[in-house]
Amino acid sequence: MTPPLPRRPRWRSLALLALCLAPLLWPLEHLAERYYRSELAGQNRQTLDLYVANLLGTLHRYEVLPQILGDLPALRTALDAPHVSTNLVNANLLLKDVAAQAGVEVMYLMDTTGKTLATSNWDKQDSFVGRNFSFRPYFSEAMAGRLGRFFGLGTTSAKRGYFFAAAVRDGDTVIGVLVVKVDLDHTERLWGNTPEQLLVTDHNGVVILTSRPQWRFRATRPLTAEEHQAIIAIQPYPTRDPQPLALSSTAWLRQSTAIAETGWNVEILAPRSLINRPVRTVVAVGGATLLVLMLLLGLMMQRRRHYLERIAFEAKARRELEARVVERTSDLEGLNRRLKQEVLEREHAQQELVRAQDDLVQAGKLSALGTMSASISHELNQPLAAIRSYAENAEILLDHERTNDARGNLKLISELTGRMASIIAHLRAFARRDRHAPESVALQPALDDAMALLAKRRRSMEVELIRDLPEATLWVQAGETRLRQVLGNLLANALDALTEKGPPRKLWLSAEATEQGVNLYIRDNGPGFCMEALGRASEPFYTTKTRTQGLGLGLAICDTLMRAFGGDLSFANHKEGGALLTLKLRAGSPGVSLQPSEDRSV
C-alpha cells in the first residue's frame, strides 16, 4: 500500500489565524511604549537634575563676588574721585587681576548714572570704559540695594553672559555699582553630542541656552506687547523680535524643571525615535513570535533555525542597551565625583579664611600688648625694686632679732607679689587665643580687666574716670578674651584722643539693659571724629594717626568681632563735645560664677 503523501499546510487558514491574532500586538505595543517611556524619563530626569545643579553651582560661585569686592578701597577711591586718572588706572588693574583669578569674563565699575568708570577689559578693543548701561535691569536693582541679576547679550562684546550687580556703598549711601559678567557657554559644551537636546528659556519664553545653535534666541511661545517693549528697552537678545520656535509635540518627549531664583525653565527634549525604535523592535519580536507559532503548526522544523537567530538578535540588542546604560551611569558617577570635589575644596577654602581671620585678630591683640609693654614694664619694675628693698631690710632686722618688724616687711612683700600677679593675670587673659563660640560673659569684670591694663597710662595722663555702671552684673553673649580685646582697643583709642587735649581730661563709662540686649557707652571729651572718620572709622587701614602710632586695624578688628558676637559697634560725636562709642551686645544668661578684676584702682 502506498503511504499517503504528507498534507500541505493550509495557508489560507494560517492567514486567517494571523488576522485574528494580529490585534494582540496593540496591547503589546502599548505596554512596551509605557515601559520605554518610563525608562527614558527616569534617565533624562537624572541628567536634567545634574545639569541644573551644575548651572546653579556656577551661578552661586560668583553671585557673592560683587558684594564682597564692593568694599575694596581702590574701587571706592575711583568712585569718590573719578577725575583723578591714577585712581581709574588702579581700579582697572585691580578689576583685571581679580577677573583673571576668579575666572569671570569681565568685571566693571559704574557710577550712579550708569557710566562705566573702570573695567577689567580696559585694554581691549571692545572696552566698556565710558559706556552707559543704566538701561540694564541689573543696574536699577543694584541701585535699589538688591543683588542685580540679568542674562543677556553684551551690547559691546556681543557675547552672552549672566550678570551679577551689587551696590558699592559709603555708609548707607550708594555711590556706584560693581558688575560681574559670567560666561555660560561652557554649560552648553558640557551637554555633548547626544540625541537628547537641552533647552533653557528665560521668563519671556525665549531660548537662551541650547545644545542646538539654530534654536538660540527663538521664542517658544507668543510674546505680549509688554514683553516686546521690555525686550526693546533692555536689549537682552541680538534681535528685538525673536522668531517663534515651533517644536512638534509628536516628535519630542519633553521634561522640564523651573529655577525659581533666575526665572528660567530648563527642558530636556528626547526624540520620540528613542522610544519608537525599541517599541518597534518589541512589536516586531511579538509579531515574529506569533508568526513562528503559526508556522510551527505546519513548518516546525523549517522555522526552528530562524527562531534561534531571532533569539540571538534579541540578546545582542539587549547587550547593546545594557552597555549604553552602563556608559551613561559611568558618566553620571564621574560628574557626581567632580561636584563632591568642588564642594570639599570650597569648604577647605572657607576654613582657611576663618583661620586667617582668627590669626589677624590674635596679631592685633599682640600688637596692642606691645604698645602697652613700656607702661606694664614700669608697673612691674616698681614692686620688684620695693620687694628687693624689703627683703634686704628683713635680713638686717632678723640679724638684730626684730622679728615683728621683719614680719611686717614680709607682709608688704606678699602684697606686692599679689599686685604683680594681678597685672600678669590681666596680660594672660588679654593675650589668650579664644576659639570658642559666643558664651555668656559678665560685662563689668571684663571692663575692669581692660581698664586695669591701661590704669598706669590713665593716671599719668590725669584722666578722670566717671563710671555709671549698674550694681547688678550685666551678662552678654560674646567671647571672653575677644570682648576684653574690643574693650581694650576702644579704651586705648579714647586715651589716644585725649592726648591731643589739655586738662581737664575725662572718660565716661556707662551701661544699660534694653529689650534688645545690653548697651555700653564709652565717651571722652577729646576732639571727637571728623566727618570722614565717621564714615570710614571701621574701614581696615584707615587711620588719622601717624605710621608710628598705628596701622588703622584696631577699630576694624573691633567691628569684625562685634559682628561675630551678633552685636553692633557705632561711632558718633556727643552733643557736648568729644567722641561717643556705642556697643550693642546680645543679652546672655547669668553664669555660674564670676571672676572679678583683682585691681580695683582702674
Average pLDDT over residues 546-567: 70
Which residues lie below 8 Å from residue 369, measured CB to CB, with a gap of 6+?
427, 430, 431
3 state DSSP class of 150: strand
Is the pLDDT at 601 greater than 50? The verdict is: no
What does the pLDDT average to over 252-256?
Answer: 82
**DSSP output for 42-85:** HHHHHHHHHHHHHHHHHHHHHHTHHHHHTT-HHHHHHHH-TT-H
**Mean pLDDT, residues 339-346 taken together:** 87
What pLDDT, in 10s, does the model give residues 2-30? 444 444 445 666 666 667 766 767 787 77
pTM, two decimal places = 0.43
> Does 157 have pLDDT greater than 60?
yes
- CATH number of this structure's domain 186-271: 3.30.450.20
Contacts of 321 (CB under 8 A, 6+ apart): 278
SS3 161: strand
pLDDT value of residue 263: 81
Weakest mean pLDDT among 24-28, 101-105, 277-281: 24-28
Neighbours of 2 (CB within 10 A): 4
Domain with CATH 3.30.450.20 in the chain: 65-183, 186-271
| Residues 394/417, Cβ–Cβ less than 8 Å | no
Please write the tens of the pLDDT for every residue from 378-429.
456 556 756 776 687 788 888 887 888 788 778 778 766 865 665 566 556 5
Give rounded-to-5 percent helix, strand, coil for the chain.
55, 20, 30
Residue 347 pLDDT greater than 70, yes or no: yes
Q: Which residue has the higher pLDDT, 449 or 570?
A: 570
State the Cα–Cα distance between residues 225 and 217, nearest whole angstrom: 18
Residue type, 228: H
E-only strand ranges, 260-375? 264-271
- Hey, what long-range contacts does 442-445 have (CB within 8 A, 24 or more apart)? 442/473, 442/474, 442/475, 442/591, 442/594, 442/595, 443/473, 443/474, 443/475, 443/476, 443/483, 443/511, 443/518, 443/520, 443/585, 444/469, 444/473, 444/474, 444/596, 445/594, 445/595, 445/596, 445/597
Cis peptide before 271 (omega within 30 of 0): no
pLDDT, residue 6, reads: 46
Residue 523 has pLDDT above 60, yes or no: yes
Amino acid, single-letter form, for residue 171:
G
How far apart are the C-alpha atoms of 538 and 560, rounded to whole Å? 9
DSSP-derived 3-state class of residue 589: coil
pLDDT at residue number 431: 52
* Choice between 538 and 128, residue whose per-residue pLDDT is larger: 128
Q: Are strands 568-573 and 579-585 parallel, antiparallel or unpaired?
A: antiparallel
CATH number (3.40.50.720, 1.10.357.10, 3.30.565.10, 3.90.1300.10) of 437-585 reads 3.30.565.10
Identify the pLDDT of residue 302. 61
| Alpha-carbon distance values, 455 to 133, 266, 386, 524, 595 (Å) | 58, 67, 20, 16, 19
DSSP for 82-103 reads TT-HHHHHHHHHHHHHHHHHHT
Q: Which residues pair with 33 in a beta bridge?
A: none
CB pairs under 8 A, 24+ apart, for 85-94? 88/117, 88/118, 91/117, 91/118, 92/118, 92/119, 92/120, 92/122, 92/123, 92/129
Residues spanned by CATH 3.30.565.10 within the chain? 437-585
Return the pLDDT at 330.
Answer: 86
Percent of the chain with pLDDT over 70: 80
- Angle at Cα 417 formed by Cα 416 and Cα 422, nearest 5°? 100
- Quick check: 191 pLDDT over 80? no
Count of CB atoms within 10 A of residue 488's CB? 26
Least confident of 230-239, 284-293, 494-503: 284-293
Grid cell locating 551: 596701622
Nearest to 47 by CA among 249, 292, 252, 334: 334
Other CB atoms within a 10 A radius of the CB of residue 83 amount to 6
C-alpha cell recorded at residue 66: 560683587
pLDDT tens by residue, 422-431: 556 655 655 5
Of 131, 134, 105, which Cα lies nearest the Cα of 118? 131
pLDDT at position 177 over 90:
yes
> How far does CA 161 lie from the centroid of its chain?
21
Question: ∠ at Cα 307 (304, 313), nearest 5°?
Answer: 145
CATH classification code of 65-183 = 3.30.450.20
| pLDDT of 513 over the 80 cut | yes
Q: What's the full length of the chain, in residues? A: 602
Which residue matches cell numbers 568729644? 578
Mean pLDDT, rounded, of the chain: 79
